[in-house]
């Protein structure tokens, strides 16, 4: 038995070396890239086109998170530091919080909104607040990434909205995820918050592995038409943590299933007797190539898909569709033992972390805000349908020929935009009393912390036209 396991491990290690070598030189047979590594050792357990450059979409926000946590560690700012929403931040494409210009948000809350809702405006708030402008921040992002060994990475924005100069690879994302885990273990809650509550809204994390795959504890999803569906997923079992990166998946369900399959294979394999033959992730050499552009495949005329980042395109206004996706549930149910018995087919109940605008609140204030009633999503959805139906009826009524010209349909577009993006107003909200994230449970009221004004009021860079709403 032991001999058989040893032989299997040997064959696996040799096959792994072959796969890794082939991934260094081969162009993707189809537009997909993935890697699985051990978080402690950095050893590569699986690799497919791992060094191929890719458009990262909102997995970019992991780099913005690293820059922000580094600034806190270097005592340049604290989690309670307030940043203001600039015109540039407010102008970002969805997904976003949609706060008015001048709204103040603590770094702690901005991080939570960025990581759970994938809020593009909050990523810009952090960038401008820390370095004065997006340009300065993204230059620092690129320099820091190269210092960490992420040699294929370059950044032109902090949120991953479509830009041809925004490039990473599965290899680089695995290095980044491992660096976050190793350098900021005390901040790990930031990348596995199951949901946030803002006012009367609850927004679930777009990563459906959280709470459903045993040991899942991170990290970040992403989607733009150029990239396909991306996911950096982490899981810990028996004191062993693995990192899986999937880029270019055809759907949100398939990226989650692929990540779960990679993680499960790694946990079942264990440590091979010849694991020392496997290269470390930073030893994989980068590839000089142009990232594949999946715009036609992901968002062509044959696909009814929203053209902007990020998850609301597939996940609905509050992320519930990511958790209740029938394709994902069916795929989970179809997985064979022993994996199937380890997976929860239904979305778990979650306790959201409350987020809010303005200065840091006391624990009593947070508890009070956490107890506020939540809007009924069924009633909200019915209301949206009724409004949409009314707009449609109005359109039909007003599009009757009048002097040979139909009436313009502006109302329908406004309603659709509101339903698709679920924009919020700048209501005051708070964090839960049980929140264990940095600066989450103040024992007493604090004086208002320093407010850093964002000086950049320049308009946001225009993403590639093929990936942005026309």
Half-sphere exposure of 199 (CA within 13 A, CB side): 12
Phi, psi of 201, rounded to the nearest 5 degrees: -105, 140
The Cα–Cα gap between 364 and 140 comes to: 39
Across-strand partners of 46? 36
Among 125, 139, 123, 72, residue whose Cα is nearest residue 452: 125
CB atoms within 10 A of CB 234: 27
DSSP 329-386: HHHHHHPPTTTGGG--SSPPP--PEE--SBSPPBHHHHHHHHTSPPP-HHHHHHHHHH
Among 59, 57, 79, 81, residue whose Cα is nearest residue 69: 79
Q: Would residue 79 be called left, alpha or beta, if left means φ above 0 and alpha means ψ between -120 and 50 degrees?
A: alpha
Contact 175, 245 (CB under 8 A): no
Cis peptide bond prior to 95, omega within 30° of 0: yes
| Residues assigned a catalytic role | 58, 61, 118
In whole angstroms, how far apart are CA 161 and each of 95, 172, 308, 462? Answer: 10, 18, 7, 9
* Helix (H), strand (E) at residue 47: strand 44-48
pLDDT along the chain (470 residues), means of 10: 40 42 44 94 96 97 98 98 98 97 98 98 98 98 98 98 97 98 98 96 93 93 96 96 97 92 89 74 94 93 55 45 57 52 66 97 94 73 52 44 37 34 38 37 38 44 40
Query: If you count them, how many residues does the chain have?
Result: 470
Structure tokens at 450: 């320093």
Q: Could you give the 3-state DSSP secondary structure of residue 64?
A: helix
Residue with tokens 């030189």: 25
Across-strand partners of 235? 216, 242
* Helix (H), strand (E) at residue 451: strand 451-452
Q: Maximum Cα–Cα distance for the chain, whole Å?
A: 87
In whole angstroms, how far apart are CA 241 and each of 63, 86, 215, 236, 340? Answer: 20, 39, 9, 4, 20
Contact 109, 357 (CB under 8 A): yes
Among 37, 193, 56, 180, residue whose Cα is nearest residue 115: 193
Paired sense of beta strands 82-84 and 451-452, if any: parallel
Contact 433, 363 (CB under 8 A): yes
The Cα–Cα gap between 25 and 289 comes to: 10
* Helix pair angle (120-131, 61-73), 10° resolution: 40
* Helix (H), strand (E) at residue 82: strand 82-84
**pLDDT for the residue numbered 334:** 56
Q: Give the domains, in start order, of the chain with CATH numbers.
A: 2-377+417-467 (3.40.710.10)
Kindly provide the residue ranges of all beta strands, DSSP E only, lying in 152-264, ordered along the sequence: 168-169, 195-198, 201-204, 216-224, 228-237, 240-249
The Cα–Cα gap between 280 and 267 comes to: 18
Q: Give the ranges where 148-291 is alpha helix by DSSP (H).
A: 170-183, 252-269
In degrees to the nearest 10, what's the CA dihedral of 276, 277, 280, 283? 140
Contact 234, 218 (CB under 8 A): yes
What strands lie across the sheet with 240-249, from one edge to the other?
Answer: 44-48, 33-38, 240-249, 228-237, 216-224
The Cα–Cα gap between 267 and 269 comes to: 5
**pLDDT for the residue numbered 332:** 55
């Amino acid at each position: 038995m032991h001999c058989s396991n040893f032989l299997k491990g040997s064959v696996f290690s040799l096959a792994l070396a072959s796969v890794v070598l082939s991934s260094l030189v081969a162009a993707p047979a189809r537009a997909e890239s993935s890697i699985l590594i051990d978080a402690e050792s950095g050893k590569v357990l699986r690799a497919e086109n791992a060094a191929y450059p890719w458009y990262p979409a909102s997995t970019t926000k992991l780099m913005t998170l690293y820059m922000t946590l580094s600034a806190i560690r270097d005592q340049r700012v604290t989690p309670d530091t307030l940043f203001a929403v600039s015109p540039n931040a407010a102008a970002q494409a969805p997904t976003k919080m949609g706060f008015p210009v001048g709204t103040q948000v603590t770094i702690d809350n901005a991080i939570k909104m960025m990581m759970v809702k994938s809020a593009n405006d909050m990523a810009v708030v952090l960038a401008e607040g820390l370095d004065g402008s997006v340009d300065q921040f993204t230059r620092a992002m690129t320099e820091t990434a190269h210092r960490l060994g992420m040699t294929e990475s370059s950044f032109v924005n902090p949120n991953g909205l479509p830009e041809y100069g925004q490039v990473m690879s599965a290899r680089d994302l695995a290095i980044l995820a491992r660096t976050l885990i190793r350098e900021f273990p005390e901040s790990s809650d930031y990348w596995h918050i199951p949901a946030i509550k803002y006012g009367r809204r609850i927004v679930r994390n777009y990563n459906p592995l959280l709470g459903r795959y045993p040991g899942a504890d991170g990290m970040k999803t992403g989607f733009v038409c150029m990239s396909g569906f991306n996911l950096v997923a982490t899981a810990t079992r028996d004191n062993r943590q693995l990192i899986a990166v999937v880029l270019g998946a055809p759907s949100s369900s398939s990226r989650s299933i692929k990540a779960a399959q990679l993680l499960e294979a790694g946990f079942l394999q264990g440590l091979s007797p010849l694991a020392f033959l496997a290269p470390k992730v930073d030893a994989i050499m980068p590839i000089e190539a142009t990232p594949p552009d999946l715009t036609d495949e992901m968002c062509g005329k044959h696909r009814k898909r929203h053209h902007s980042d990020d998850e609301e395109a597939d996940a609905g206004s509050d992320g519930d569709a990511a958790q209740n996706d029938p394709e994902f549930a069916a795929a989970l149910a179809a997985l064979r033992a022993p994996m199937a018995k380890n997976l929860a087919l239904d979305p778990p109940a979650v306790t959201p972390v409350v987020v809010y605008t303005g200065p840091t609140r006391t624990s009593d204030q947070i508890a009070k805000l956490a107890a506020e009633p939540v809007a009924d999503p069924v009633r909200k959805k019915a209301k949206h349908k009724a409004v949409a139906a009314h707009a449609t009826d109005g359109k039909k009524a007003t599009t009757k020929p009048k002097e040979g010209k139909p009436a313009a349909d502006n109302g329908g577009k406004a309603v659709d935009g509101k339903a698709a993006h679920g924009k919020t107003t700048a209501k005051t909200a708070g964090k839960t009393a049980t929140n264990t994230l940095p600066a989450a449970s103040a024992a007493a009221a604090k004086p208002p912390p320093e407010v850093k004004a964002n000086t950049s009021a320049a308009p946001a860079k225009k993403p590639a036209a093929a990936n942005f709403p026309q």
